[in-house]
C-alpha cells in the first residue's frame, strides 16, 4: 500500500513511518521539521502543508491512504479543525479514499457527559491541543465527504516504550487497565493504527487504543 504521512517528524509520526515500512508499505512523508527527522532510508520526503488545498492535492496524488499526525501545540488548535476540513475535502479529489487521524485522548469520555480534557487534573499545557482535537472530531462527524476516515485516540499516557503488539481497542470511552491506568507505548499505538489501516474495522468512526 502507498501511504502518505503528515507530521512524520514528530514522536508519533516517526513511529508510524517505522511501522509502515516494517509492514512493507511504501511511505511518503511530509512535516514542518522534516529536515530534522531521523527518517529511515526508503522514505520519500516531500514539502507539503496539510492546511493548503493545492499542496495537499499535489502531494498525496497516487497514494492509497493518508495518515495525519498533526500536533495542535505547534499548529494552533483552530488550525487542527481547519486541516481536518481541508483533508475531508481534498483527499477524495486527489483520488485518496482512506484517512487515519491521530486524535489525542482529551475528548475521550471518563464518565457520561464528562471528557478527559474537562477533568480537574488535566495538564494545562495540553488543554488547547485537546480542545482543538475535539473540534476536529466534530468536523469529521458532521462532514458529508465520501472519505473513509478513522479518528484514532491513544490512551491518556502515550510515551516511548517497547512494541509488544498487544493492545485493546474501544470507542469514545477512555480505556484503563486493571490497575486503573490508561497508557500505551508510541510503538504499540503505531501498530494499532497500521492494523486499523489494513483491517478497516472502524470506518467513519472514532476508535481508541490502550493496554
For the chain, domain boundaries: 2-210
The predicted pLDDT at position 35 comes to 64
The predicted pLDDT at position 37 comes to 64
Rounded to an integer, the average pLDDT of 8-22 is: 94
Is-contact 167 186, C-beta < 8 A? no
The predicted pLDDT at position 189 comes to 98
How long, in residues, is the chain?
211
Rounded to an integer, the average pLDDT of 93-119 is: 96
Per residue in 137-183, pLDDT (tens digit) is 999 999 999 999 999 999 999 999 999 999 999 999 999 999 999 99
- Rounded to 10 degrees, the C-alpha dihedral 112/114/120/126 comes to 140
CATH superfamily of 2-210: NAD(P)-binding Rossmann-like Domain (3.40.50.720)
SS3 45: strand
Percent of the chain with pLDDT over 90: 86
Using DSSP, how many helices (H) and how many strands (E) does the chain show?
A: 6, 12
**Nearest alpha carbon to residue 173 among 102, 111, 126, 127:** 111
Of 72-76, 124-128, 155-159, give the lowest mean pLDDT range: 72-76
Is-contact 41 19, C-beta < 8 A? no
The predicted pLDDT at position 71 comes to 76
Amino acid at each position: 500500500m502507498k501511504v502518505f504521512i503528515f507530521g512524520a517528524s514528530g514522536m508519533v509520526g516517526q513511529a508510524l513511518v517505522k511501522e509502515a515500512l516494517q509492514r512493507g508499505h511504501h511511505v511518503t512523508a511530509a512535516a514542518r521539521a522534516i529536515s530534522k527527522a531521523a527518517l529511515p532510508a526508503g522514505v520519500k520526503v516531500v514539502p507539503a502543508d496539510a492546511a493548503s488545498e493545492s499542496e495537499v492535492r499535489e502531494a498525496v496524488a497516487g497514494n492509497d491512504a493518508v495518515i495525519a499526525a498533526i500536533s495542535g501545540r505547534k499548529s494552533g488548535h483552530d488550525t487542527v479543525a481547519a486541516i481536518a476540513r481541508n483533508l475531508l475535502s481534498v483527499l477524495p479529489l486527489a483520488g485518496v479514499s482512506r484517512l487515519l487521524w491521530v486524535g489525542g485522548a482529551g475528548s475521550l469520555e471518563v464518565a457520561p457527559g464528562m471528557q478527559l480534557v474537562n477533568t480537574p487534573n488535566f495538564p494545562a499545557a495540553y488543554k488547547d491541543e485537546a480542545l482543538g482535537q475535539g473540534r476536529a472530531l466534530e468536523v469529521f462527524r458532521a462532514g458529508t465527504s465520501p472519505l473513509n476516515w478513522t479518528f484514532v485516540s491513544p490512551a491518556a499516557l502515550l510515551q516511548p516504550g517497547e512494541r509488544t503488539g498487544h493492545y485493546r481497542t474501544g470507542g469514545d470511552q477512555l480505556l484503563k487497565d486493571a490497575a486503573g491506568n490508561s497508557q500505551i507505548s508510541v510503538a504499540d499505538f503505531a501498530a494499532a493504527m497500521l492494523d486499523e489501516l489494513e483491517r478497516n474495522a472502524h470506518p467513519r468512526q472514532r476508535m481508541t487504543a490502550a493496554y
